[in-house]
Structure formats: structure tokens, C-alpha cells
Amino acid sequence: MFGGAARLVVLHAGDNDLAHLKRRHGLAFASVFDTSIAARFLGARALGLDALLAERLGVTLPPSRQKDDWSARPLSPAQEAYAVADVRHLPALRASLTEDLRRAGRLAWVEEECAALAALPVAERVVDPEAYARLKGARDLSLRDLAVLRELYELRERLARAADRPLFKILADEILVRLAAASPADAAGLAGIPGCTLRVIGRWGQAILESVARARALGDAELPRLTRAPRPGVPGPVRQRSEGLRRWRADAAVRVGLPPGLLLPNRLIGAIAHAGPRDRDELARVEGVRRWRVESFGPEILAALPPA
């Protein structure tokens, strides 16, 4: 249905939607246009669909229903109106963005990024047993509270796998840390924690409380012991190339009016610095660089690298 090149799928910030459709339903997408990506390449400051529609088309979306339980059926009239409005204006928004992208000479950039998004394989979730300890605020918890966080993190992993949903769609990181710090013993305690809505409590409240109780019952020897792994050393030439690329990015981002992280993400700075390309062909072979960066900024990127 979507695998033919003639079938263009227009969406907004659709990376999670595409991943879900690929993983759960085995769908393939040959042609995609993401209006959020397009707006970023035009230097838009507000990237929300509501803001873009208001600015470009003068359209006001119905009040948000994102906190609703969309698994309940039948959908309410308000939910149906919201769902329809969320996609009805995407073709017109695409046309508006495309016109400006063509005028700016950046349409090919966006088309390449959207093609990469469409072709992106579905990555299997890799469970890192120490990931909970890297959440913001985790290092401020006591060892007992950290054990609670570990249990809650594992619970969220199980729930996300069962529902085939992103982790943040189950419980946001900050809510996990708040739960660990408060360690509620009952539903009333859950209700007092910001982010623990009636929907959260109704769906997962009992499982959360059981995870908290399990962690609180652990013996001292079973509590987590955190160690800081030493950072691997970066060779001097690689560090110098990274610094040169960051200096170039800072100047170029202002000149072309793009966010630095869009013009050259940190992951690409690291990849290019390690590869040390000497010409455009070698630069093009660095994974993720994309053709538009090589064609539009290749000589500048190469010039930013210190001589070997």
C-alpha cells in the first residue's frame, strides 16, 4: 500500500509512527514527507504542528486530546474531530513548506532526509541493565531509592514491549525518578506525584506499587552499586578535528540560519573526526553524512579539518 514510489505519505514528526507501523504491521514506505523535518530546514523556531498550521495556513486546531485514553472505544466526537484535524491540513502545509524550500535551495536536502527516514530499519530494543542510573536525577537518589528506580525502569521496559510503544509513551523519565524518590505505598501516594495522572494510575498503578514494594524489601546486599566507568581517551588528532568541525559548525549555522545540531549533529562530528577524510569521496563514505552535506558544505567541512 505504501511501498510504491507513487504513494507519498505526508506526516508530522512521524519517526515513532513509522517505526510502530513497520514493527507491528510490517509496512514499508517508499516515499515520505515529514513536515517537521521540512520546517527545521527552513529554520522554524516553533516546530509543533499547531504552530506551523497557525503561522502558514491560519488554521487553529481543536484543543489537544493527547492525554486521552485512545485505546477506549468508541472514540468521542471531540476525539474524532481532533484526529481528523491533525492530518487534514498536512497536504496544504507540505505545499507551503515545499515552495519555501525550493526557493531556499533546500528541497533536495529535505527529500534526502525524508528518504532516509522512510528507509530506516526498525531497531530492536536493546536493554541496558545500567541505563536507569543515567536518568537525570538518578545520581541524587539514595541506594534504596535507586533500587526502586531500577525496578520501575524494568517495569517500563516490559510494558513498552508488550504494547509495542516508545518508553516515553508509557512513563517519562522524570516521572520514574519522582516515583523512585517518593516510593509511594498506595494509590493516594501515587496521585500526589506530578505526572501520575488518573490514566497512569488506572493502567499501571498496581504494577508500579508492586515494583516499589519489591525494591523496598530488598536486602542491603541487593541494592545497586554504581561505578563510574572511565571515559575512553580520544587521540589528539581526533580531538583536534572535532574542535575544528565544531568551530566551523558554529559559524556556518549562523550564516545559513540552521540549528547547529541539524547542520552537523555531534554524532557526525565524531564520525568525521575519527575517519579523517581527505577529499569529498572519503567524506561521502562516512555513514550518515548524506549527499546534501557533501555537495553543499563538503569543501568547508574538509577545510575545517586540521592537516594530518
Note the pLDDT tens digit of each residue in 139-162.
Answer: 899 999 999 999 999 999 999 888
Domain count across the chain: 3
| CATH assignment of the domain containing 177 | 1.10.150.80
Residue ending a domain, among 162, 196, 222, is: 222
Bridge partners, 11 (sequence order): 34
- The range of the structural domain enclosing residue 91 comes to 8-119
Residues 33 and 111 in one domain: yes
Q: In the prediction, which pLDDT does 126 show?
A: 67
Residue 138 lies in a domain: yes
What Å distances lie between residue 125 and 23, 38, 170, 304, CA to CA?
11, 28, 15, 36
Relative orientation angle of helices 107-119 and 15-25, to the nearest 10 degrees: 30
Residue type present at position 29: F
Residue 1: inside a domain = no
> Model's pTM, two decimal places?
0.80
Q: What residues of the chain score a pLDDT lower than 70?
A: 1-6, 124-127, 229
pLDDT score, position 293: 98
Q: Which of 198, 222, 246 is the last residue before a domain boundary? A: 222
**Would you put residue 44 in left (φ > 0), alpha (ψ -120 to 50) or beta?**
beta
Q: Is 126 contained in some domain?
A: no
Residue 227 within a domain: no
- pLDDT for 2 equals 65
